Amino acid sequence: MPRQSTQQTRPSPEKSPRRDPTASGQRDAAINRIASHNYFLLEKFECGLVLTGTEVKSVRGGLANLKDSYGIVKDGELWLLNAHVGPYQHGNIHNHAPLRTRKVLMHKEEIRKLIGKTQQKGLTLIPTRLYFKNGKVKLELALAKGKQLWDKRETERRRTADKEAREAIRGRKK
């Protein structure tokens, strides 16, 4: 007959409150704010990203920028171009190039669907967010259609009208 243990098991301790919010997944590492201004974001996809060790550390440190980046499908693979990941401060001679082309990880079926959609007139792949999920860097890619100048003005008018309506309702309640 096995002996019963008299030790109590302790619940796992909570994660340190001093932990970096970007690394723990509570805050985005990089956001492309101008994407929603310049494009209609039709569909969003969560993808993985092939990065080197110094790139992951730089993203964790907030040195990533998605402003002018875009995605392309080439030879059945998805690639991210012009995404700037600053060099790691404590890196050595094997530090990464800031603007290198990075491979995006996505299921083949989803890539096949994207090939058909991006070949339509005016549709492109725009990265909107870079964030951590379960310790891995994830990229949110959006299938987007470019806005014309009058589209941007209409969006701005609608946003201002909604803001004024909310303020009027708030003023009535007081």
Q: Give the CATH class of 30-147.
A: mainly beta
* pLDDT given at position 51: 86
List pLDDT tens digits, range 21-36: 666 666 778 888 888 8
pLDDT of residue 127: 92
| pLDDT, tens only, 106-115 | 898 888 888 8
Tell me what pLDDT residue 12 has.
59
Q: Which of 102, 104, 100, 72 is nearest to 86 (CA)?
A: 100
Phi and psi at residue 49, to the nearest 5°? -140, 135
Task: Identify whether the C-beta of residue 111 lies closer than 8 Å to the C-beta of residue 76.
Answer: yes
Tell me the domain boundaries of the chain.
30-147
Q: What is the pTM of this model?
A: 0.71
**47 contacts: CB under 8 Å, gap ≥ 6:** 78, 104, 105, 106, 138, 139, 140, 141
Below-70 pLDDT ranges, the chain: 1-26, 174
108-135 pLDDT tens trace = 888 888 888 888 777 888 999 898 888 8
